[in-house]
Chain A
Amino acid sequence: MLEYFFQHILSFAIWLPVAAGVAVLFTANDSKPNATRWLALIGSIASFLVTIPLYTHFNFADGGFQFQERFLWIATFNIHYHLGADGIAVPLILLTSFTTVIVVLSAWEVIEKRVAQYMASFLIMSGLMIGVFSALDAIFYYVFWEAMLIPMFLVIGIWGGPNRVYATVKFFLYTLLGSLLMLVAFIYMYHQTGSFAITDYYQMPMPLNVQVLIFLAFFAAFAVKIPMWPVHTWLPDAHVEAPTGGSVVLAAIALKLGGYSFLRFAMPIAPDAAHYLSHFMIALSLIAIVYIALVALVQKDMKKLIAYSSISHMGFVTLGFFIFNNLGLEGAIVQMVSHGFISAAMFLCVGVLYDRVHSRQIEAYGGVANTMPAFAAFAVLFAMANSGLPGTSGFVGEFMVILGAIQANFWYAFLASFTLIFGAAYTLWMVKRVFYGEVANENVAALKDLNKREFLILAILAVLVLALGIYPQPLTEMTNATVTQLLSHLAHSKLPAGL
């Protein structure tokens, strides 16, 4: 029994939350939502526990895929049910299953209409996203990648803000457009190799012009998801209109799907194109880091500000990828995980305020620290982490990427380090306007401090942000072997001999 579990641990990680989500749907009854809530919580915690052995049983010396499962799924097209996780995927899988618990908790009394559908959407989405992180067959991966859009589309559309329909349709169509081009690339490679296995694509030699086209097809899919400047415009809209849980999942996980996929597909499949286009990618990343940070500075809406800050931070991730060294790549992965915690926490903080005052505008607040001291303490901690204060997880990733960038080119690092100034500026300025000063109005005066549930959620995240900031070694140890292997793969040209 236990042996069976360990052989199919990734399948459990994917299908347990999906099954829990379906079960939750059957408890739909808005007049008695507590059963639904508890079932969702139990389901999400069980799903999280199932993913723990991925860490405890991980072989740190092995940079390849572990926990593999593989059998033929669609014989006509040689598509396999093929799962496996390496040192890059496992942290993100854990992040996903963990975030789902947080999301379920954060929705507890906040969501009152159609509770079952809300909880089920997130549980199912969690399973699908773990599927994206662990699928090793292109079509199998693609199915998860697209299927994940469906629950997110509904979450933003049903529980979102006033302009939710525009935001959710934009989100869906933007992502779909990019993904379909990726599908064309998959089919092209299938006709070349006769297989949809990602590992076969790794070995497949291709001339540079083909590699560039394939890279661009992937770029269309992943750049939209990350999102990179200039295809980022769906994100602020989606974040602003999404309910708190939707924003948390978007920022903490959905964006990482794009980053992860660059490492899984675009770069190793088309390494020569990745080198060839690296200046282009770095330029886009630096624009995101600097320009988008400036855009964040002038936002009046807290959620929009954090959304732009996410884009800016994800610029660090892509910068880390395309400088092709160990520090940069590992830093980018640490940054992805750390941003998962920090952005989730920031959106939850906005959610806490929004639930009480129903406004996301910065000017609607002022002096919140006077009425909500405990909450203010957490919010300031997360704001510090967001601006990259040493000792928090935000510092580690950014510092590693900047160090890596210096090895590549001083000016990259010079420009990237501006974010430490701008990031601090927009985050702390927002904190100042919202939390400090005199109590601005009667809404703020009437605020009640955190309840136990909110305190618990924020405390867990605070501990994680500090732990990762002070002692990031468990994470870097895990990714180390995989990153080394990936870099050596990227260093070898895949151009056909004689060209």
Chain B
Amino acid sequence: MENIRYDLISALPEMILLGMAMLVLIADLFLKQSNRIAIYGLSQFALLMAAYVTFTTHAPGVGYAFSGTFVDDAMSDVLKLMIYFGTSLIFVYTRQYIQLRDMYRGEFYALVLFSVVGMMIMVSGQSMLTLYIGLELLSLSLYALVALDRDNARATEAAMKYFVLGALASGMLLYGMSMVYGMTGSLNISDINHALMNSPGVHSVMILGLVFIVAGLAFKLGAVPFQMWVPDVYEGSPTAMTMLISSVPKLAAFAFVIRLLVQALPTMAADWQQMLVIMAVLSIIIGNVTAIAQTNLKRMLAYSTISHIGFVLFGFMSASINGFTSALFYIASYVLMTLAGFGIILMLSRKGFEAEKLDDLKGLNQRSPWSAFLMLIVMFSMAGVPPTLGFYAKFAVLQAALQAGFLWLVVFAVLMAVIGAFYYLRVIKMMYFDEPQDQHLIQAPMDMRVVLSINAFALLVIGLMPQGLMSLCGYAIARSLN
């Protein structure tokens, strides 16, 4: 009886969100379009409730539920809170955009909430199967969201691409998992680790399984050489969906990597470390160099994401507590920057017009000095220029990699960061040095303006006082990995 109770309490946030998502779907049937705001409020309330429960049931120890297939530890709680927070911002930023494009319906909110549940299960999965189910719940919701605007051919194409490649990646991941299961006889993360620790040497099937798992993870993260889908999906999806795909799911992917590589397969660290090194270096090169050639803002941000993922992998490949903490700090910073960046792009879009070309930013400083300034902060943060948050993110992963002895790779990454700075500067150049081509007034609801300003300013403020976020990441990792 005690067990069941503990199981239920550990998974209470997931259950709440799932229930609320259902409620949103049902309530949507009975609402007129003019009352649709209630759905929005309900979804925000659902996130708030989940956050409250996650926060109040937080315990410093590591607890296993559902016969060890589900884990409730500091990392999962911190990541879940970040996911709620990010999703809540997404709801605020996207409301006007989807209203103007006839997507302001219950499906949108329900699907996003389902994807959040998927992410939460990924974050808390302690068995390879649980992790996989979470991943699929997330992915399927995202495919549907990209295709939500039925008459949009580009979006449908993007959804198709995303689905086919995503399914391929899931297949690879599952295949790798099956090999690990075959060799260790367990799906449970801790049991796999124990089985491997007790068996001397590494069997070649395990290596093969690891290759498939890493390939699957790289697909989901969007790391080179599995990055092909990223630019196309980013560009084709409605901007609101691009914002979702590019931001919070990366937090879940972080947990996914930690669970599978760090907690299940630490004995094979030397093997996956090598793979991550190659992917990190390639991601940083391809991401930064290719981004220069882009004229589409969303595509440019897609390549920028690839290079950011390369930096995150720098944290992972250090294979130390310091490295994982830095990677988490980088991802958290990245999510905050991406949300602000896409938020501004959403603000510049209006009915019948998508702000997605770099040229659409021209002269923004004259049209709206405030939004130009916010974008300026975001761009400098992405480029990693102090005193913005992005600098500490890069600093953290680079110092972890240097500690692990990758001196020349760090020097290389730094040179690539200069190339990266070039295309971020180009955005600033367009906003500040060029004349505007478009004189439309920028219209956005007050709540979005306020939240967006706070979001972008947070990059500066946390940049001046990064200790809080660093401690949070340190706490999450130190309490969950020993």
Residues of B close to A154: CB separation below 8 A:
428, 432
What is the bound-complex CA distance between A213 and B433, given in angstroms?
Answer: 38
Contact B385 A77 (CB under 8 A): no
Q: Which B residues from 463 to 480 make CB contacts under 8 A with A?
A: 466-467, 470-471, 474
15 new A-B contacts, CB < 8 A, other than A76-B470, A183-B395, A188-B407, are A28-B369, A74-B392, A74-B470, A75-B471, A76-B471, A77-B399, A153-B425, A154-B428, A154-B432, A157-B432, A164-B433, A165-B433, A180-B418, A181-B414, A187-B395
Closest Cβ of chain B: how far from A6's Cβ, in Å?
Answer: 25
Contact B433 A181 (CB under 8 A): no
State the 10 A-B residue pairs at the shortest beta-carbon distance, nearest first. Answer: A143-B386, A180-B414, A76-B470, A157-B433, A187-B399, A177-B418, A146-B386, A187-B402, A147-B387, A74-B467
Residues of A close to B392: CB separation below 8 A:
74
Tell yes or no: B219 within 8 A of A by CB: no
Q: Which of B369, B387, B391, B418 contacts A173 (CB 8 A)?
A: B418
Tell yes or no: B100 within 8 A of A by CB: no
Tell yes or no: A110 within 8 A of B by CB: no
Interface centre among A76, A153, A157, A158 (most CB of B within 10 A): A76
What is the bound-complex CA distance between A48 and B327, given in angstroms?
Answer: 43
A-B contact pairs, 10 of them (CB 8 A): A75-B471, A76-B470, A142-B386, A143-B391, A146-B391, A158-B432, A164-B433, A183-B414, A184-B402, A191-B402
Tell yes or no: A463 within 8 A of B by CB: no
CB-nearest residue of chain A to B430:
A165
Chain A interface, >50% SS class: helix
CB-nearest residue of chain B to A143:
B386
Query: Beyond A147-B385, A154-B432, is A177–B380 a contact (Cβ under 8 Å)?
Result: no
Residues of B close to A54: CB separation below 8 A:
none
Contact A165 B471 (CB under 8 A): no
Q: Which B residues from 372 to 391 make CB contacts under 8 A with A?
A: 380, 385-387, 391
What is the bound-complex CA distance between A168 and B426, given in angstroms?
Answer: 11
| Chain B positions 393 through 410: 1 when the CB is less than 8 Å from some CB of chain A, otherwise 0 | 001001100110001001
Contact A169 B429 (CB under 8 A): yes
Q: Which A residues from 54 to 103 make CB contacts under 8 A with B?
A: 73-77
Tell yes or no: A461 within 8 A of B by CB: no
What is the bound-complex CA distance between A146 and B392, given in angstroms?
Answer: 13
CB-nearest residue of chain A to B469:
A76
What is the bound-complex CA distance between A399 and B142, given in angstroms?
Answer: 72
Tell yes or no: B167 within 8 A of A by CB: no
Residues of A close to B395: CB separation below 8 A:
77, 139, 183, 187
Residues of B close to A184: CB separation below 8 A:
398, 402, 407, 410-411, 414
Contact A181 B411 (CB under 8 A): yes
Residues of A close to B425: CB separation below 8 A:
153, 169, 172-173
Q: Which B residues from 441 to 482 make CB contacts under 8 A with A?
A: 466-467, 470-471, 474
Tell yes or no: A176 within 8 A of B by CB: yes
Residues of B close to A169: CB separation below 8 A:
422, 425-426, 429
What is the bound-complex CA distance between A168 and B429, given in angstroms?
Answer: 9
Tell yes or no: B421 within 8 A of A by CB: yes
Residues of A close to B415: CB separation below 8 A:
177, 180
What is the bound-complex CA distance between A168 and B432, given in angstroms?
Answer: 12
Q: Which of A172, A173, A177, A187 contacts B398 (CB 8 A)?
A: A187
Tell yes or no: B98 within 8 A of A by CB: no
Which residues of B line the A interface, CB within 8 A?
365, 369, 380, 385-387, 391-392, 395, 398-399, 402-403, 407, 410-411, 414-415, 417-418, 421-422, 425-426, 428-429, 432-433, 466-467, 470-471, 474
Contact A146 B385 (CB under 8 A): yes
Closest Cβ of chain B: how far from A112's Cβ, in Å?
Answer: 14
Tell yes or no: A190 within 8 A of B by CB: yes
What is the bound-complex CA distance between A73 and B464, given in angstroms?
Answer: 9
What is the bound-complex CA distance between A114 and B433, given in angstroms?
Answer: 12
CB-nearest residue of chain B to A169:
B425
Tell yes or no: A282 within 8 A of B by CB: no
What is the bound-complex CA distance between A164 and B432, given in angstroms?
Answer: 12
| Chain A positions 140 through 155: 1 when the CB is less than 8 Å from some CB of chain B, otherwise 0 | 0011001101100110
Q: Which A residues from 388 to 416 make CB contacts under 8 A with B?
A: none
CB-nearest residue of chain B to A139:
B395
Which residues of A line the B interface, CB within 8 A?
28, 73-77, 114, 117, 139, 142-143, 146-147, 149-150, 153-154, 157-158, 164-165, 168-169, 172-173, 176-177, 180-181, 183-184, 187-188, 190-191
Closest Cβ of chain A: how far from B311's Cβ, in Å?
Answer: 13
Contact A176 B387 (CB under 8 A): no
What is the bound-complex CA distance between A187 and B391, given in angstroms?
Answer: 13
Closest Cβ of chain B: how far from A362's Cβ, in Å?
Answer: 28
What is the bound-complex CA distance between A388 and B358, given in angstroms?
Answer: 50
What is the bound-complex CA distance between A188 and B411, given in angstroms?
Answer: 11
Contact A176 B421 (CB under 8 A): yes
Closest Cβ of chain A: how far from B317's Cβ, in Å?
Answer: 16
Query: Beyond A184-B398, A191-B399, is A158–B433 a contact (Cβ under 8 Å)?
Result: yes
Q: Which of B411, B421, B433, B467 contacts A73 (CB 8 A)?
A: B467
Residues of A close to B399: CB separation below 8 A:
77, 187, 190-191
Closest Cβ of chain A: how far from B72's Cβ, in Å?
Answer: 25
What is the bound-complex CA distance between A157 and B430, given in angstroms?
Answer: 10
Residues of B close to A172: CB separation below 8 A:
421, 425
Closest Cβ of chain B: how far from A69's Cβ, in Å?
Answer: 16
What is the bound-complex CA distance between A372 and B453, given in angstroms?
Answer: 51
What is the bound-complex CA distance between A176 and B433, given in angstroms?
Answer: 20
Q: Which of A165, A173, A181 contacts B429 (CB 8 A)?
A: A165
Closest Cβ of chain A: how far from B113's Cβ, in Å?
Answer: 34
Residues of B close to A139: CB separation below 8 A:
395
Residues of B close to A77: CB separation below 8 A:
395, 399, 470
Residues of A close to B426: CB separation below 8 A:
169
What is the bound-complex CA distance between A153 and B422, given in angstroms?
Answer: 12
Residues of A close to B380: CB separation below 8 A:
150
What is the bound-complex CA distance between A404 and B365, given in angstroms?
Answer: 51
CB-nearest residue of chain B to A76:
B470
What is the bound-complex CA distance between A172 and B429, given in angstroms?
Answer: 12
Contact A157 B386 (CB under 8 A): no
Interface centre among B417, B418, B429 (most CB of A within 10 A): B418
Residues of B close to A164: CB separation below 8 A:
433
What is the bound-complex CA distance between A143 and B422, given in angstroms?
Answer: 19
What is the bound-complex CA distance between A364 and B470, given in angstroms?
Answer: 59
CB-nearest residue of chain A to B466:
A74
Query: Beyond A75-B467, A153-B425, A184-B410, is A176–B418 a contact (Cβ under 8 Å)?
Result: yes
CB-nearest residue of chain A to B322:
A76
Interface centre among A139, A149, A150, A168 (most CB of B within 10 A): A150
Residues of A close to B403: CB separation below 8 A:
191
Residues of A close to B470: CB separation below 8 A:
74, 76-77
Residues of A close to B417: CB separation below 8 A:
180
Residues of A close to B365: CB separation below 8 A:
114, 158
What is the bound-complex CA distance between A142 and B395, given in angstroms?
Answer: 11
What is the bound-complex CA distance between A74 and B365, given in angstroms?
Answer: 34
CB-nearest residue of chain A to B426:
A169
Closest Cβ of chain B: how far from A246's Cβ, in Å?
Answer: 14
What is the bound-complex CA distance between A158 and B363, given in angstroms?
Answer: 11
What is the bound-complex CA distance between A237 and B415, given in angstroms?
Answer: 23
What is the bound-complex CA distance between A28 and B410, given in angstroms?
Answer: 42
Contact B402 A149 (CB under 8 A): no
Query: Beyond A173-B422, A187-B402, is A76–B391 a contact (Cβ under 8 Å)?
Result: no
Residues of A close to B398: CB separation below 8 A:
183-184, 187
Residues of B close to A143: CB separation below 8 A:
386-387, 391
CB-nearest residue of chain A to B434:
A165
What is the bound-complex CA distance between A191 and B401, given in angstroms?
Answer: 11
Residues of B close to A149: CB separation below 8 A:
385
Residues of B close to A142: CB separation below 8 A:
386
Residues of A close to B386: CB separation below 8 A:
142-143, 146-147
Q: Which of B369, B391, B402, B421 contacts A188 (CB 8 A)?
A: B402
What is the bound-complex CA distance between A350 and B43, given in angstroms?
Answer: 62
What is the bound-complex CA distance between A75 and B470, given in angstroms?
Answer: 9
Closest Cβ of chain A: how far from B464's Cβ, in Å?
Answer: 9
What is the bound-complex CA distance between A133 and B474, given in angstroms?
Answer: 32
